[in-house]
Amino acid sequence: MKLSMPRYDQATVLVVGDVMLDRYWHGGTSRISPEAPVPVVKVEQIEDRPGGAANVALNIAALGAPALLVGVTGRDEAAHSLTDSLHAAGVQAHFQRIDEQPTIVKLRVMSRHQQLLRMDFEEPFNTDAEALAAEVDALLDGVKVLVLSDYGKGALKNHQALVQLARGKGIPVLADPKGKDFSIYRGASLITPNLSEFEAIVGHCADEAELVSRGAKLMLELELGALLVTRGEHGMTLLRPDHGPLHLPARAREVFDVTGAGDTVISTLAASLAAGEELPHAVALANLAAGIVVGKLGTAAISAPELRRAVQREQGSERGVVSLEQLLVVIEDARAHGEKIVFTNGCFDILHAGHVTYLEQARAQGDRLVLAVNDDASVSRLKGPGRPINAVDRRMAVLAGLGAVDWVVSFSEDTPENLLRAVKPDILVKGGDYGIEGVVGADIVRAYGGEVRVLGLVENSSTTAIVEKIRSR
């Protein structure tokens, strides 16, 4: 499946559900308490992160999508902390605040990156379901996807009212379900239970065939548009009426903490669908995102640059031979990581020691090196009949194998000026004994504030001389 990074900036998503505050106490542990056989943690840092539905909204915003959030809190310090964190992340939070009830807080005591203890502070909320539905209805204009983030804490009282509000406006509804009654999600476009939640409804599934058959029956009974079962180390299974099952393997290289992984899945799904991706592609992106988040500690959001880099690894464009379209995507990601782009170009017909030394010097000028290579027709125009010796695909394959080179792209014109206008490198590098004014494209690069640098040539190294030597024998 070929993946690409969606444009999330217009993909507005509304999240409704149970918000909570994930609080972390971090500290060292060096002794056992004299009062009881428990470790003593000297708390050195207190960290607050949005959790539950608030984490879903935070993940959506981290991808660059506009995120709205409707939920229920108390009127307390934890609610203020949640509001401040969400506002700072660009999430528009609309909270129904209930006096004399605490905001849900999950406190985790951490030492040496290990969770020693979790304490939950919560009471079921007496939510005003009609007022919450009215708030949702007022926000739906312009929304591309509605997410029901249900943790069973009481914020969602009338799921069907919310589903019908969205469906009446042609807005897909995604639900992360809880409990043993999935009928409350009837008519949803997609629900995303984990395997244990799914089996609590349909019974134990001995194998994938049974999972698929029982999932198909559940979709029919509940009039669901699709069903995504997340299966931990076994990946994910997407089921759709009139389609074969799609099984995706787990993508985590190392599982460090599964906290919030379900939030990451539904947030990436929602943002990707809102950005116009087809469901299988959105699921594949969510699978990649889940593989990233389980390698982090605690509740964590996945940023657009992190997901983009994972997509690049998946497509094999993190390094190597790329098209111009792929190059522009990976350069955008590199810049998002604060990396400086170096650009150089040439024919590189027969690779020799001078080329290798020059490319290593060019790479040292910044963080990433783009190497633009003349195609066969342009080499022939520049060098004359009989050149190139090696076709462009072979030249590019050899150059891509050099450790100094990040990306190799070809161009058909006699000069790389059009490429320079598209790529806009931070530094244009050329080897030779002429001045900067003689570098092709120098005026283009300097016009937008880039730099132009000339590096010396390695003596007694010339492709033309090598070719003449071979021909004279």
Looking at 287, 315, 343, the residue that finishes a domain is 315
State whether 400 and 443 are in the same domain: yes
Question: pLDDT band at 227, cuts 50/70/90?
Answer: very high
Give the model confidence (pLDDT) of 61-106 as tens digits: 999 999 999 999 999 999 999 999 999 999 999 999 998 889 999 9
The pLDDT value given to residue 114: 87
The two most distant CA atoms of the chain are separated, in Å, by 95
**How far is it, in rounded angstroms, from Cα 315 to Cα 279?**
19
Q: Which residue, of 274, 300, 315, is where some domain finishes?
A: 315
Q: Is residue 111 part of a domain?
A: yes
Residue 5 lies in a domain: no
Query: Helix 195-202 crosses helix 208-222 at what angle (to 10 degrees)?
Result: 70
Quickly state the pLDDT bin for 464 (edges 50, 70, 90): low
- Give pLDDT, residue 20: 94
Is the pLDDT score of 368 beyond 50? yes
Encoded tokens for 329: 């995507």
In three-state secondary structure terms, 96 is: strand
Q: Mean pLDDT across the chain, nearest whole number?
A: 88
Domain membership flag for residue 289: yes
256 — pLDDT class (breaks 50, 70, 90): very low
Residue 436: what pLDDT?
76
| Per-residue pLDDT, 257 | 42
Angstrom distance (rounded) from CA 180 to CA 191 = 14
- Into how many domains does the chain fold? 2
Q: Are 172 and 248 found together in one domain?
A: yes
Span 9-33, average pLDDT: 94
Band (432; pLDDT cuts 50, 70, 90): confident
How many other C-beta atoms can be found within 10 angstroms of the C-beta atom of residue 24?
Answer: 19
196 in a labelled binding site: yes
More confident residue, 457 or 200: 200
Task: Tell whether the model's pLDDT for residue 275 goes beyond 90.
Answer: yes
SS3 assignment for 364-403: CCCCEEEEEEECHHHHHHHHCCCCCCCCHHHHHHHHHCCC
- CATH number of the domain encompassing residue 44: 3.40.1190.20
H/E run at residue 72: strand 67-74
Chain position carrying tokens 């462009």: 392
Residues 244 and 381 in one domain: no
Together in a domain, 352 and 452: yes
- Are 274 and 355 part of one and the same domain? no
Comparison of pLDDT for 293 and 353, the residue scoring more = 353
Q: Distances in Å between the alpha carbon of 115 and those of 27, 37, 82, 171, 390?
A: 11, 17, 22, 39, 58
The stretch 231-246 carries a mean pLDDT of: 88
pLDDT at 81: 95
Residue 237 CA to residue 226 CA, distance in Å, equals: 11
Q: Note the pLDDT of residue 258.
A: 47
Contact 370, 339 (CB under 8 A): no
10 pLDDT higher than 80 = yes
* CB count in 10 Å sphere of residue 151: 21
177 and 44 both lie in a single domain: yes
- Region 27-45: mean pLDDT is 93
Question: Taking a C-beta distance cutoff of 8 angstroms, is the pair 116, 91 a contact?
Answer: no
Domain of residue 442, CATH code:
3.40.50.620
- Identify the weakest region by mean pLDDT among 20-29, 242-251, 270-279: 242-251
* pLDDT confidence of residue 299: 53
Which entry of 263, 333, 406, 426 is annotated as an active-site residue? 263
Task: Report the percent of the chain where pLDDT is more than 90.
Answer: 61
**Residue with tokens 């739906």, as numbered in its chain:** 140
Please say if 263 is a catalytic residue. Answer: yes
Q: Half-sphere exposure of 336 toward its Cβ, with a 13 Å CA cutoff? A: 16
pLDDT in tens, 167-206: 999 999 999 999 889 999 999 999 999 999 999 999 999 9
Which of 278, 294, 315 finishes a domain?
315
- Residue 434's pLDDT band, with cuts at 50, 70 and 90, is low
Q: Answer yes or no: do 146 and 214 share one domain.
A: yes
Q: Are 187 and 163 in contact (CB under 8 A)?
A: yes
CA distances from 52 to 58, 220, 261, 294 (A): 10, 29, 11, 16
Q: Is the pLDDT of residue 308 over 80?
A: no
- In the structure, how many helices (H) and strands (E) does the chain have? 16, 19
Residue 255 has what pLDDT? Answer: 43
Residues 379 and 451 in one domain: yes
User: What tokens does 187 get?
Assistant: 């008519």
User: Is 310 in the same domain as 348?
Assistant: no
Mean pLDDT within 374-403: 89
Q: Residue 426 has what pLDDT? A: 96
Domain contains 45: yes
List strand residue ranges (DSSP E) for 183-295, in order: 190-191, 227-230, 236-239, 246-248
pTM comes to 0.70
Sign of CA dihedral 458, 460, 462, 466: negative
DSSP labels, 99-129: TTSPPPEEEEEEETTEEEEEEEE-------H
Q: Is residue 426 part of a domain?
A: yes
Establish if 161 belongs to a structural domain.
Answer: yes
* pLDDT, position 302: 75
Residue 124: the pLDDT is: 81
Confirm whether 1 is domain-assigned.
no
Q: What is the dihedral of CA 206, 212, 214, 219, to 10 degrees?
A: 160
Q: Which residue has the tokens 């379209």?
A: 325
Residue scoring higher pLDDT (432 or 106) = 106
Co-location of 35 and 146 in the same domain: yes
Is it the case that residue 316 has pLDDT exceeding 70? no
Q: Is residue 283 part of a domain?
A: yes
Instruction: Return the residue matching tokens 């490198």.
Output: 425
Binning pLDDT at 50, 70 and 90, where does residue 212 land? very high
Asked whether the predicted pLDDT for residue 13 surpasses 60, the reply is: yes
- What's the Cα-to-Cα distance from 107 to each of 50, 51, 116, 434, rounded to whole Å? 12, 11, 11, 65
193 lies in the same domain as 334: no
Range of the domain at 327: 320-472
Do residues 243 and 355 both lie within one domain? no
Return the H-helix or E-strand segment holding 423: helix 417-423
pLDDT band at residue 253, thresholds of 50, 70 and 90?
very low
